[in-house]
A and B are shown apart, each in its own frame.
Chain A
Amino acid sequence: MVDAPSQAPAIAVHHLVKRYGDATAVNGISFAVERGDFFGFLGPNGAGKTTTINAIVGLARVDGGRIEVFGRDVSTAWRQARRLIGLAPQEYNFDRYLRVREILFYQAGYYGLRPREVAVRVDALLERFGLSAKAHAFVAQLSGGMKRRLTLARALVHDPQIVILDEPTAGVDVELRLELWETLRALRREGKTIVLTTHYIEEAEALCERIGIIEAGRMVALEKTESLLRSHARDELTITLAHPLQAPPPMLAHFSARLDPENACRLRFERLSPLQLSEVLALLGRDGIDVEAVNTERATLQDVFLALTGRGAR
C-alpha cells in the first residue's frame, strides 16, 4: 500500500532523526497516532518531545525519516498537512501588536480563512476558554493561565483535525487544569485527534489512551496506557515492622523482599498474591518479628515512567 489517505493514521512518524550540530535531539523514532486517538507524549526535560512536534508541524527541518499527516507527507504536501494540524506550543509566541480577539482572526487568516468565515468560531472559542472579557486586551495584560488558554483557543481557530498540545497545563492552577482536562475530553469526543505532552504523569494517565515515552531522542515505550501499566508497573506491598531490621530476613529472599532505604522498619514486595502474603506473615511471626501494618500501593504511570527513563534509580 503506497498511499492510502483514507485509512492512513492521523500522524505517522517514520525513523525521524533531528540533529542540532553534533547533538542528536531525536534519534530515529517511529510512531503512529491513530485517528481519534488521545496520545500522550512523555519524557524527561530535553528528551526530544518539542523537537518531534516541531518536525511534525514544520518548525524544524528534519535530518532523516519521514512524517505523514493523514497520509500526506509534511515536506511535500505541506499545505494540506498544515491545515489539518493546530498547535499549542510550549513557548508563547503571540503577536504583540495584536489584541486577544485579533490574534485569533489573524491566525485564522494565515490558515486562509476570512474574518467573516471564522467570526462565530472566534467568539465561541473566547467564550469556551473564558477569554471574552479580555477580548480587547493585549497579551502582555493576560495572566499566565490566560495565555495558556489563548494558545489552545488559537490552535483550534481553523478547526483542525489534529490538535497538538505541548505542555498545555504548565503553570496552570488546579481548578483550571481540571477544566482544561474536561475541554480536552470534549475535543476528543468531537472526534479530534489529540497529542499531548506533559510533565504531570497523572494527567497523561487520566487523559491518554496511548502513551509514547521518549528518552534522549529514543522511544522507550509505546503502548496503550493500561497495558503499559500492566506490563511495566507492579502493585507494591509494604509491611511495616515494629522494629527496624539490618537487612531483609534471608527466609524472605525468594519473595524478593527489599528493605526501604529510608525506613528500616519497612519491607517492600512487588506483586504478592494473598496466599504468598499469608506465607510471608507466617514466616515473620515464626521468627518473632512483629508486624504493625500491611499496605498495598497501586502502580501508577509515574512508576512506569521512572522505571523506563532510568530516573527511578536515583
Chain B
Amino acid sequence: MNSVGLWTLIKREMKRSFQIINQVIWPPIISTLLYVFVFGLALGSRIKGIQGVSYAQFLLPGLVMMQVIDGAYGESSSSLFQARFTYAIQEMLVAPMSAGEIVFGYVFGSVLRTFLIANVIMVLGVLLLHTTPTSWGLYVAVLVLVAALFSSLGIIFGLMAEKYDNIAVLTTFAITPLVFVGGVFTSIHLLPPVVAHLSLLNPIFYTIDAFRYSYTGQSDVGLAISLPVVAAMTVASYAIAYAMVRAGYKLRT
C-alpha cells in the first residue's frame, strides 16, 4: 500500500478546502446559524417541543445532517471533476496509487472537512441551544457514514459529469428536495399518514433519523432500522465509486 501517497492526497484535499474557505467552510456554518435563529428560535418559540426537546433543539441535528450531506457531496464531486477537467488527476494516475487509495483519499478528505463543519455547528448548538449529543459514539458513527455516503456519490457524479453544471443535477433535483422533506424540520409523526409513508422511501430520511437519535435518544422508525439502512447505502455507494475508479471510467482513456 502507498500510504504516503494516500496521505498526500488527503493533505491536498484539505489544502484545497482551506483555499476556498469562503465557498465551502463558512457558508454551511452561517446558514445553519440563520436557520437556528429564524426557524429554531423565532418561529420555533411558537411550536411545542418534539421528541421531548424544544423545537430548536430538535432542529439542530437535522441542520447538521443537511450541511454534512451538502458539504460531502459538494467537496468530492467538485474536487474530482476539477481534477479531471484540468487533467491534474493525471499526477495521481501516473503514480503508483491504486483505485482504493484514490477513492479512500477523496472520501477521507471529504469526511474530514464535513466532520470539522459538523463539529463547529455542534459547538454552536451547545452554546446557543444548550443541546449536546447524548451518544457520542453514535454521533461520530453516523456523521462518518453519512459523509462517506455522500462523498462516494460525489465521486460517482464527479466522474460521470461532462461539464461542471452536471454535478448540480443531483443537488438541485434530488438532494435538496429530499433533505427538505426528509425530516430536518419535522418528525414524520406530524405529517399526514400518506406523506409519512412516502418519507420511508426517502433515503435521506434515514440519515437524519439515525443522527437525531444521537441527540434525542429517539427515532421515528427506530435506530435498528435507520442505522443499517444508512450503513448499507454507504457501503453500496462506496463500492460503486471504487468500481468506477478501478475501471478507469473517464479517468484513463
Contacts and interface: CB of A to CB of B under 8 A. Distances in A.
A14 interface: no
Contacts of B253: 20, 54, 59-61
Contacts of A57: 94
Contacts of A97: 12, 15-16, 19
Interface string B1-38: 01111011101100110010000000000000000000
Contact of A110 (B15, B16, B91): B91
Contacts, number: 86
B248 A61 contact: yes
Interface in B81-106: 82-83, 86-98
A69 B92 CA distance: 19
A60 to B, nearest CB: 5
Contacts of A58: 93-94, 252
A-B complex: 7 closest residue pairs judged by Cβ atoms = A109-B8, A93-B87, A110-B95, A79-B96, A95-B88, A82-B96, A93-B90
Nearest to B5: A110
A89 B93 CA distance: 12
A63 B249 CA distance: 15
Contacts of B15: 97-98
B87 A85 contact: no
A85 B94 contact: yes
Nearest to A107: B91
A81 B8 CA distance: 20
Contacts of A54: 253
Contacts of B91: 93-95, 106-107, 110, 154
Contacts of B90: 59, 89, 93
11 contacts: A58-B252, A61-B252, A79-B2, A91-B87, A93-B89, A96-B88, A97-B19, A106-B12, A110-B5, A110-B92, A114-B4
A222 B160 CA distance: 40
A98 B91 CA distance: 12
B247 to A, nearest CB: 9
Interface residues of A, number: 32
A282 interface: no
Nearest to A87: B94
A112 B94 contact: no
Specify which of A78, A98, A106 lies most central, judged by the most chain B CB atoms within 10 Å of its CB. A106
Nearest to B9: A110
B125 to A, nearest CB: 32
Among B2, B8, B86, B93, the most chain A Cβ lie within 10 Å of the Cβ of B8
Interface string A102-117: 0000110111111000
B36 to A, nearest CB: 32
A78 B83 CA distance: 22
Contacts of A60: 252-253
Interface string B122-164: 0000000000000000000000000000000000000000000
A104 to B, nearest CB: 11
Interface in A106-130: 106-107, 109-114
Given A93-B88, A110-B97, A111-B96, 7 more contacts: A58-B252, A59-B90, A61-B248, A78-B96, A95-B86, A95-B88, A110-B92
Contacts of B83: 95
A200 interface: no
Nearest to A18: B253
A92 interface: yes
Task: With a 10 A CB-CB cut-off, give which of A58, A60, A114 has the most chain B CB atoms.
Answer: A58
Contacts of A85: 94
A61 B12 CA distance: 27
Nearest to B18: A97
Given A54-B253, A93-B86, A59 B5 contact: no
Contacts of B93: 58-59
A112 B5 contact: yes
A83 interface: yes
Interface string A241-282: 000000000000000000000000000000000000000000
B4 A82 contact: no
Contacts of A83: 96
B9 A94 contact: no
A60 B8 CA distance: 24
Interface string B57-85: 00000000000000000000000001100
Contacts of A92: 87
Contact of B95 (A20, A89, A95, A107): A107
B12 A95 contact: yes
A82 B94 contact: yes
Contacts of A154: 91
B197 to A, nearest CB: 46
A3 B11 CA distance: 39
A96 B2 contact: no
A106 B8 contact: yes
Contacts of B95: 82, 107, 110-112
Nearest to A109: B8
Contacts of A80: 96
